[in-house]
Amino acid sequence: MVSAKRIIARAVFGHRYDRVPWGQRVYVRPGERYAREAQWWLRLRRAPVLSLEEYQARVPLGEIEEFISCHLCGESRQQPLFRPAAQKDNGKTRWSYRVVRCPSCGFLYRNPNVRPERLGDLYATNYSGFLTGSYAQNRQRRYRLTMSAFSPVFDDGTGRRLLDFGCGAGLFLELAEQRGFDACGVDLSPDSVAEANRRLTKARAYFGAPEDVEEVARGGFDAITLWSVLAHLPRPLDDFTRFRGLLGPGGVLLILTVNAGSLLLKAYGSAWSGFTKNHLMFYSAKTLPVLLRRTGFAGVAFAPFFGDTVEEGTTRLSPAYARRLRRTVIASDGGNMMRALAFADEEAIARWGSGLAVQRL
């Protein structure tokens, strides 16, 4: 069945954009971003704002879940917005959850959330299938492109200590050691840590929390990296306070996460690619600075995300469409992923901030 939206799009744009992938159409079709912003504004106008008690009365609570208030500002009122879900082949629900918006600060988060002590239940699946082949190559390409976006911060690691938090099978640690960093990582999956240590020559991966590992706990890091980790953290204030403490003078924290300010979220709602099974909280360029300010960071800079193939120059988009995509990303949301560099202190801003649009916190 052809949806009404598709008929409207056909009437407005014809077949011109049929071969542009879904994830890029919103950025390439002229004027679409204004329509999506209007759609978002309407959605927020229509969604009710409930007290936590009202919300709890309406929503069932799973065994490993808990109701929470906004972790960024403490606001307890809830604005229910989305119900992401995935179906099995037989039509039964594989997983689903609810995403609310904080009516005070605009933060998007899963509510009910997952109780931290039950996080392990989310990661029962064996991830070793992800370690090789095109998955690994695509991951490492994204790491390289992100480091380039903040060049020269990650160009030369000689004499510098780096911690990769949530290092998985060591795909980033491998690049970090190649660039000369004295690198180590921590992860909560013992299988991944074992695989990482097989892969690495100088860098080391450890199982457990940072405070459990002596080499990590002594701190003094020049850089900490969070590759697709932030959205998985159920207690972000605690974790970021710890990261700030582990950074030495002049230290930086690199974050890559899904962008809750993305036009694609505004366009696709519950079907947005950032609402994956294990994501708990969704940050934007408005809400991430709140977390950083509250945990003692001095500044932050963002690098717009145009997509890996566009940045690498291998996109199938025509040059004119690729230019339009870049312009729309810069003028609107910063892209579907968010890339941020947080500065521990003034020394870090002085050392690495030139050439970046540093926002002081």
Residues that bind Zn ion (CB under 5 A): 70, 72-73, 75, 102, 104-105, 107
Cα dihedral 183, 121, 336, 332 in deg (nearest 10): -110
- CB closer to Zn ion, 77 vs 141: 77
- CB closer to Zn ion, 286 vs 316: 286
Cα 14 to Cα 21: distance, rounded to the nearest angstrom: 15
- CB closer to Zn ion, 105 vs 119: 105
- CB closer to Zn ion, 289 vs 304: 289
Q: How far is the CB of 218 from Zn ion (least distance, A)?
A: 34
DSSP letters along 163-205, please?
Answer: EEET-TTSHHHHHHHHTT-EEEEEES-HHHHHHHHHH-SS-EE
**In 3-state terms, the chain is what percent helix, strand and coil (to 5)?**
40, 20, 40
Q: Which residue has the tokens 């962008």?
A: 259
Handedness of CA 264, 266, 269, 275 (dihedral sign): positive
Alpha carbon of residue 207 to chain centroid: 22
Q: How far is the CB of 49 from Zn ion (least distance, A)?
A: 12
> Sheet containing 99-101: which strands, arranged edge to edge?
79-82, 99-101, 108-110, 281-282
Q: How far is the CB of 271 from Zn ion (least distance, A)?
A: 25
- CB closer to Zn ion, 76 vs 359: 76
- CB closer to Zn ion, 76 vs 309: 76
Q: How far is the CB of 350 from Zn ion (least distance, A)?
A: 32
Q: What is the DSSP letter of 259?
A: B
Backbone angles phi, psi at 282, to 5 degrees: -130, 115
Handedness of CA 177, 183, 184, 187 (dihedral sign): negative
- CB closer to Zn ion, 24 vs 79: 79
Q: How far is the CB of 100 from Zn ion (least distance, A)?
A: 10
Q: How far is the CB of 60 from Zn ion (least distance, A)?
A: 24
Residue type at position 306: F
Cα 301 to Cα 338: distance, rounded to the nearest angstrom: 11
- CB closer to Zn ion, 259 vs 315: 259
Q: How far is the CB of 361 from Zn ion (least distance, A)?
A: 17
Q: How far is the CB of 304 from Zn ion (least distance, A)?
A: 25
Query: Alpha helix (H) ranges present in 29-91?
Result: 32-46, 52-58
Residue type at position 311: E
